[in-house]
Structure 1
Amino acid sequence: MKIKTRKSIHLFCLLVLIVFISACSSSSKSSGAADENTITVWTMTKGLDEFVTEFEEESGVSVEVQAIPWENAHDKLLTAVASGKGPDVLQIGTTWVAEFAEAGTFLDLSDYITDYDNLSADNFYESAVETTKFEKQTIGIPWYVDTRALFYRTDILGDLGYPNGPSTWEDMIEASRQLADRGDDQYAIDLPATDPQFPFVLAWQFGWNYEVGEGAANFDHANFEEAMKLHHLFYDEGLSQTGEGKEFFQAFEDGSKPMFISGPWDIKTIKDRAPDIEGKWDVRLMPKAENNKSMMGGAHWTVFHNSDKVDQALDFINWMADPETQVKWYEANSELPANTVAWEDPILADDPMVSTFGEQLEATQPLPLIPEYERLGQELLNTLEQINRGGADIDKSLETYRNEVSRILGE
């Protein structure tokens, strides 16, 4: 009896073990198959999880989207780099490229591009492609782009003889002085005082360029100083308000600030927030000094350096870079296509305001592709704040800024 019971127990345990091994094997195979057909994507843009369902259906690849708020994204990426545990695909803003590329975050895509129809540099704006390069590597593929242009009230500027807006900075100064002379609390333009990119844009228009090898000496050039003095003129003469003042879109609607410089997203915002001035405002190219260059912004798709799903990741990026996909993304999110063929679609080509941004994108320049760029930009804003609001001497303040740049760059 005991022997029979012992044999029964042994047989039962053996059967349990076989079932367990079989289940583990089945689970392992199932999990592996799922893993092979699943990629993780980190993005700072809302709505991607619903948008990619078409790709999932076409490719059979599942896309796990994690949306990260911009304010948390930098620290999360740093943690991923430090741990080596990141997504397969991640979005990167153009101003973060150099910093994270230097840290080895991205896979070099140089040897993969020719294998995919939509990844060729010829498909995109030249300046956008420049922002994907770091030390001869291609670390990403342009996804969407943005730039800055001049929004203006056609009715108010038309009364001053500028129905198409001021085309040069000389015209801008003349028109602005007339606008400020209208009376108390009347200004000309709301300059982007908190945008670290704008001072660089202004300097480019005066013929200045940042040369990586020159370091702090870049900011000792006469045309850079000329641009900063122009910036100060608008505050010194009361053409632009020092301080926040009236709510931004209210000031544009009531005409107390009939011009501002911003990106394409504000087309929709004005239509939604200020419907009473429909037909009384427009967008034009940036005013010209030596040129009318603006900045090339936007975001890229990149592959995390140790992803084991490179093929699937690049299939996804190739799909996102397709002109048809890019038009659909614009329709869903109002973010401008990086693929120039997409701009031939009537939804973009037949909208004169959006087309203006498309034209401005042809006259853009990438921001300095150095890891320290954001610190240099923020420090320049602090310097201009001291000049414009604190009354600090321009020459002395710019000298102090150059010293600070030298310290930041470790010269």
Structure 2
Amino acid sequence: MRRSRAAAVGALTLSLALTMAACGGGSSGTEGSNEQPKTLTYWASNQGANLEVDKKVLQPELDKFEKETGIEVKLEVVPWADLLNRILTATTSGQGPDVLNIGNTWSASLQSSGALLPWDAKNFEAIGGKDRFVRSALGSTGVQGQDPAAVPLYSMAYALYYNKKMFADAGIEKPPATWEELAETGRKLSEDGKWGLGAEGSNLSNNIHQVFVLAKQHGADFFTPEGKADFTSDGAVAAVKQYVDLMAKDKIIAPGNAEYAQNQSLSDFAKDKTAMVLWQTASATFKTQGMNEDEWGVAPAPVQSGEPGQGTATNSMVAGINMAVFKNTKNIAGAKTFVKFMTSDEEQIILNKAYGSIPPVKAAQQDPAVDTPSLTVLRETLATRAAALPQVPEESQFETVVGTAVEELFADAGIEKPPATWEELAETGRKLSEAGKWGLGADGSNLSNNLHQVFVLAKQHGADFFTPDGKSDFTSDGAVAAVKQYVDLMAKDKIIAPGNAEYAQNQSLSDFAKDKTAMVLWQTASATFKTQGMNEDEWGVAPAPVQSGEPGQGTATNSMVAGINMAVFKNTKNIDGAKKFVKFMTSDEEQIILNKAYGSIPPVKAAQQDPAFDTPSLTVLRETLATSAAALPQVPEESQFETVVGTAVKELFADAAAGRPVTTESVRDKLEKAQQQMPKK
């Protein structure tokens, strides 16, 4: 998959950057200068619901700092997806900010670069002293025994957030305390398009946080006491499997969450689409998304059994944000003054209250603003049952490579196999239709394609659009049911994007190639996908759906006999040449060349034996033609049939796209009008 290859490249980039940084690419051992005493640049991490929220929170405080000191702070809020790479680039180039936020788990990795100011006793004294900070927060500021590489700014811990209304509607009285209870509760809540648990399967850091805690609960660590990577111990493997199995086995996480990386699971929670999330200090985000504080509850994250505590009863990593200073700053005095300001009691209360996090400064924790039920759970978790991620130089690489492994496993877990029946197609499509992506593509204004789909569905409903003596019969119960079932994929099942009602030029294939649509029902689409930049291993081909059972003849038909024929006008002035041209085009050699180019199947027997047509895709199509396809009616009025019935389906798709009801009666009415346009017999 393209996503997996990109992740692997990212892991390699990080590895190289860290190696270069460790070799002294950052800066010298001296502190910076005071050449530019009136300005500072500051990279803040994205703590709010979006970047604009962070700017609204931070800018007034930066203005206050400028008023007090005369130092202008130039703010940039950096998304989490970019932050670590931006920092690593800065450590090697020397072109970074003066002050920056870092994930506390990166402290040891960035410390090894030598680019950050060490917070020795003198520097801590300049900001009010080291003993102002909570011990657990200081434990994630760098390698033990060395001067910290950063100062704690925001403290966080993981907890289980649950939607009170969804719990009450399902008759669930209390949040789960163990993983077994979580799976059981999640199954009760996973129905009617809603899901028990949300996750961010493409958020590498979040993946690591979850499996690190689970590994602790399984008695394992991802590093040995000597600091060597140990990712394949039984406990580590069990931890990763248990987390991914919440989607793969327990089916309580929506498959679409495998793609989430930008807090979409929190949005789903706020919209009553997901009943639970395991998150750090999510309250502020829920408020910005319109929830009232009495609409969610907070409970300790699950353990394997018993009560949360230390060792195998750990239920959170020590989460948080640290503040660091680049040693090569041209305003070292201003940078320290800014860190002192941001970690002052007053600012700690303001900032952590805004973000719903916990102040790592002891005095600020005494403020009533921090004494909420939500934060009480988080404070107790940090104090009694949280463990720091490994403070080793390779920690950021660890997050990347193991986080990517979990991401890929989530991608594999999302959908196990293609649907074989229309019911399965609708169910699978609903799982895939979220976050601006859709389960199925269609060309709703393509009259021929419309006709082909409803012809097959009519066969499956035991109907034909023509009687045995060639009279049109568009309004039989089976024909009406066929058209309604096809249009209902948009109108009722909501797995086709409304905009597809206007598609007529293969746009659904373009959407598929751009990862906007997960499935299409099409004839020999492989060549088109290749021309649109897809590799052949990026799509699969399966038989088109049936109502039940296996494809075959009669009501188990799953395709019309599609193809292109070659004809000669009788009045041609070169009849011999025309026949020779047809002979040439249908020769074994040309049949192989042409059908290979178009991804179609040669109708010439000998050409079908060529290895070029022995691909998985074409094998499915060959078997379909041989065993479960039916020819469209071979009647003189066939082209009119395609036009009038294809148009009826097009108009019904337009109704569905506009939100107008598509009923059995409205379908029958459209087909009646179509039949009236056919020649009378």
TM (normalized to structure 1)?
0.73
Q: Name the structure 1 match of 2:397.
A: 372
Within the candidate set 327, 332, 344, 2:349 is matched to 327
Paired position in structure 1 for 2:252: 239
Code of the residue aligned with 2:40 in structure 1: it is T
Q: Closer, same or farther in 2 for the Cα pair 1:112/1:336, shift >3 Å?
A: same
CA contact (8 A) 1:42 1:67 kept: yes
- Alignment partner of 1:172 out of 174, 178, 182: 182
What does 1:334-345 align with in structure 2 at a 5 Å threshold? 334-345=356-367
Are the equivalent residues in 2 in contact too, given 1:119–1:141 (CA < 8 A)?
no
Determine the structure 1 residue equivalent to 2:200: 192
Partners of 1:297 and 1:278 lie apart in 2 by 22
Alpha-carbon RMSD across the aligned residues, in angstroms, is: 3.4
Amino acid at match of 1:191: A
Checking the alignment, whether the CA contact within 8 Å between 2:201 and 2:407 is kept in structure 1 is no
* Aligned mate of 2:236, from 211, 214, 224: 224
> What is the percent sequence identity of the aligned residues?
24
**CA-CA distance at 1:320 after TM superposition:** 1.5
Q: Does 1:64 pair with 2:73?
A: yes
Q: Structure 2: where are the runs of 5+ without partners?
A: 1-33, 46-53, 305-311, 418-681
- Alignment: residue pair count: 352
In the TM superposition, 1:351-390 aligns within 5 A as: 351-362=372-383, 363-369=385-391, 370=394, 371-385=396-410, 388-389=413-414
What is the DSSP-based 3-state SS (H/G/I as helix, E as strand, rest coil) of the residue aligned with 1:112? helix
Q: Which range moves more in the overlay, 153-162 or 307-316?
A: 153-162
- Determine the structure 2 residue equivalent to 1:261: 278
1 CA distance for matches of 2:265 and 2:407? 22
2:319 to 284, 291, 297: 297
Higher relative contact order (CA 8 A, sep 6+): 1
In structure 2, what is the equivalent of residue 10 of structure 1? none
Q: 1:139 offset after TM fit, Å? A: 0.8
Letter in 1 for 2:277: F
Deviates more, 1:93-102 or 1:72-81: 72-81
Identify the range of structure 1 (331-340 vs 293-302) with the bigger mean alpha-carbon deviation: 331-340
What do the CA deviations read for 1:194-228 (whole angstroms, capped 9, x no partner)? 33232223222333223253634x22323223323
Q: Which runs of 5+ in 1 are unaligned?
A: 1-33, 393-411
Report the CA distance between 1:282 and its aligned residue: 0.7
Could you report, residue by residue, the CA deviation over 1:80-119 in whole angstroms, capped at 9, with x for unpaired residues? 3334344432322224333332222112122424524634
| SS state at 2:284 partner | helix
Corresponding position of 1:315? 337
Quick one: distance in 1 between partners of 2:290 and 2:123? 44
Q: Report the CA distance shift for 1:250/1:298 in structure 2 as closer, same or farther (over 3 A).
A: closer
User: CA separation in 2, counterparts of 1:124 and 1:226?
Assistant: 36
What do the CA deviations read for 1:320-340 (whole angstroms, capped 9, x no partner)?
A: 212222012234454542223
Q: How does 1:6-405 map to 2 (within 5 A)?
A: 35=35, 37-45=37-45, 46-47=54-55, 48-58=58-68, 60-70=69-79, 71-116=81-126, 118-120=128-130, 122-134=131-143, 136-157=146-167, 163-180=173-190, 183-194=191-202, 195-197=206-208, 198-211=210-223, 213=226, 215-216=228-229, 218-235=230-247, 236-244=249-257, 248=265, 252=269, 257-264=274-281, 266-273=282-289, 275=291, 279-289=294-304, 290-307=312-329, 309-349=331-371, 351-362=372-383, 363-369=385-391, 370=394, 371-385=396-410, 388-389=413-414
Higher radius of gyration, 1 or 2: 2
Q: Distance in 1 between the 2:285 and 2:92 partners?
A: 39
8 Å CA contact 1:133–1:139 kept in 2: the answer is yes
Aligned equivalents of 2:77, 2:273: Cα separation in 1: 37
Measured after TM superposition, the shift of residue 343 of structure 1 is 1.9
In the TM superposition, residue 167 of structure 1 has moved relative to its aligned partner by 1.5
CA displacement 1:242-299 (0-9 Å, x = unmatched) = 22499756754675531122232x3234345354x76342111111223142123332
Change (3 A) 1:160 1:123: farther
* CA contact 2:40–2:334 (8 Å) conserved in 1: no
- Sort the Cα spacing of 1:125 and 1:157 in 2 relative to 1 into closer, same or farther, 3 A: farther
| Cα separation, 2, equivalents of 1:327 and 1:278 | 19
